[in-house]
Amino acid sequence: MAFFSCNGPSEQKKEIDPTTIKVEGELVADMIDPPLVPLSVVNRPAKKLIVHMEVVEKEMEMTDGVIYNYWTFGGTVPGSFIRTRVGDEVEFHLKNHPDNKLPHNIDLHAVTGPGGGAESSFVAPGHETVFSFKVLNEGLYVYHCATAPVGMHIANGMYGLILVEPAGGLPKVDKEYYIMQGDFYTKGAYGMRGLQPFDMNKAIDENPDYVVFNGHVGALNGDKAITANVGETVRLFVGNGGPGLVSSFHVIGEIFDRVHVEGGSLINENVQTTLIPAGGAAMIEFKVEVPGTLILVDHSIFRAFNKGALGMLKVSGEENKEIYSGTTQTGIYHPEGGRPQNMPEEEAVPEVVAESIKEQMEFGKQIYARTCLACHQSEGQGIAHAFPPLAKSDYLNADVNRAIDIVINGKSGKIVVNGVEYNSVMTRQDLTDDEIASVLTYVYNSWGNDKKVVTPAMVKAIRDK
Ligand SMILES: [Cu+2]
């Protein structure tokens, strides 16, 4: 027997032919920066919805010290969330900022028409184009630039989401957020400082240096984390701009109560990880029952810990020991950074090296955060029985050349740090001489250590031995 399951809005859609919905009046669309979204359409009638979007090419930070020339819809990656309802007539104004270097256009997957609008929206710097479309199908859709070389425009950040709500809007929830995954390809390896140009060869190979949420490593971490309170319902609008990778979207510590699979009308329940195709999306809903930091990841896990695809949802409120109890070790899931690429020498951009002790401290802190912190912890306190402390470490302070050697070559076997024996393995860290000098200078000048300064020449001397 085949019955339609009772999904409310999608049944209404069957009754009304959306092409016959009349529009009543005009409305200028709200444009808000991610991870926020405009308010639901709730009960408003279908309208002529006027969207003003400007393409902006601009340099922004990919991660600490790494600059990238992003091409954006509206100045952010992803571009502003566009919220419509079935039957709206969208009048789309696409501007190309006069300071931009390239022509652009827009292909919205919610459009029924040639190129999803791309064929009508090609616009040169300093100009504006206007085209109109009626939204017929409810769901969550990707939009992106489709100007040649298409892959390059998308890889530089030109994507966003457009939501088509059913008449009456989506069911009410307490919190809504907008997240989009994207992969980025740079000439230099992950974390290499300076302005990093796009690397077309890596893009064709689909081998990104960065896989991130909302355009930057850490865009949803720390004080930029999204938030909710215990007992609230959360809806995540999650898209994948690609251009290359499919996302295995997962939230560590939560189960998705409902997922609009691929952003459409099919609802799956009790989902652990949902697949989000490149150029696709999903609507994910869950209730948060206990406090803590939920970690958003692409569960292709090296991308999360080594390429940046890691975000946070901080839940505050009362504990509920019936649902979860146990001592919590905060900060188990940290980014670990990545140096997986071997760049051909001639393509590598020159390394930006620390010029002063002040810069060594600054760079060293960043290198520590993405390379050492995952094991030795944020204040160098280590983890009992597993990772020795770097704070007030007698072992560290006793011999600087030995410390350099450990970072270059790794370490295994018994050692005694502050009277406690460790017998574990530290992996060799694939860092440059300058980076090792900076990170060790930072460690020696933090947490009660004895303030040695390590130079690249000292590191080189050990490496060459
Ligand atoms: Cu473009």
pLDDT digits (tens, 9 = 90+) for 276-305: 999 999 999 999 999 999 999 999 999 999
- Residue 328 clears pLDDT 70, i.e. is over it: no
- Residue 374 clears pLDDT 50, i.e. is over it: yes
Question: Rounded mean pLDDT of 88-108?
Answer: 95
Residue 42: how many other CB atoms lie within 10 Å: 11
Measured in angstroms, how far is the CA atom of residue 273 from the centroid of ligand 1? 31
Instruction: Provide the residue type at 204 as one letter.
Output: I
Measured in angstroms, how far is the CA atom of residue 110 from the centroid of ligand 1? 18
pLDDT digits (tens, 9 = 90+) for 388-429: 999 999 999 999 999 999 999 999 899 999 999 998 888 788
Give dist(CA 133, CA 92) in Å, integer.
Answer: 8
Measured in angstroms, how far is the CA atom of residue 122 from the centroid of ligand 1? 9
Measured in angstroms, how far is the CA atom of residue 112 from the centroid of ligand 1? 21
Measured in angstroms, how far is the CA atom of residue 62 from the centroid of ligand 1? 19
- The neighbourhood of ligand 1, an ion, using CB within 5 A, equals 104, 145, 147, 153, 158
- Percentage above 70 pLDDT, the chain: 93
Measured in angstroms, how far is the CA atom of residue 227 from the centroid of ligand 1? 32
- Lowest mean pLDDT: which of 97-111, 235-249, 342-356, 438-452? 342-356
- Residue 63 clears pLDDT 70, i.e. is over it: yes
On average, the pLDDT of the chain sits at 92
Measured in angstroms, how far is the CA atom of residue 205 from the centroid of ligand 1? 21
Measured in angstroms, how far is the CA atom of residue 45 from the centroid of ligand 1? 33
Measured in angstroms, how far is the CA atom of residue 244 from the centroid of ligand 1? 16
Measured in angstroms, how far is the CA atom of residue 198 from the centroid of ligand 1? 14
Residue 329 confidence class, pLDDT cut points 50, 70, 90: low
pLDDT digits (tens, 9 = 90+) for 132-145: 999 999 999 999 99
Measured in angstroms, how far is the CA atom of residue 94 from the centroid of ligand 1? 11
Instruction: Provide the residue type at 383 as one letter.
Output: I
| Exposed / middle / buried, residue 78 (Cβ in 10 Å: 0-12, 13-18, 19+) | buried
pLDDT digits (tens, 9 = 90+) for 242-276: 999 999 999 999 999 999 999 999 999 999 999 99
Give dist(CA 249, CA 270) in Å, integer.
Answer: 14
According to the model, what pLDDT value does residue 332 have? 61
**DSSP annotation of 102:** S
Measured in angstroms, how far is the CA atom of residue 146 from the centroid of ligand 1? 6
Question: Rounded mean pLDDT of 35-52?
Answer: 97
Residue 5 confidence class, pLDDT cut points 50, 70, 90: very low
Measured in angstroms, how far is the CA atom of residue 83 from the centroid of ligand 1? 22
Question: Rounded mean pLDDT of 18-24?
Answer: 93
Q: Which two tokens stand for residue 6?
A: 């009772």
Residue 10 confidence class, pLDDT cut points 50, 70, 90: very low
According to the model, what pLDDT value does residue 437 have? 97
Helix (H, G, I), strand (E, B) or coil at 363: helix
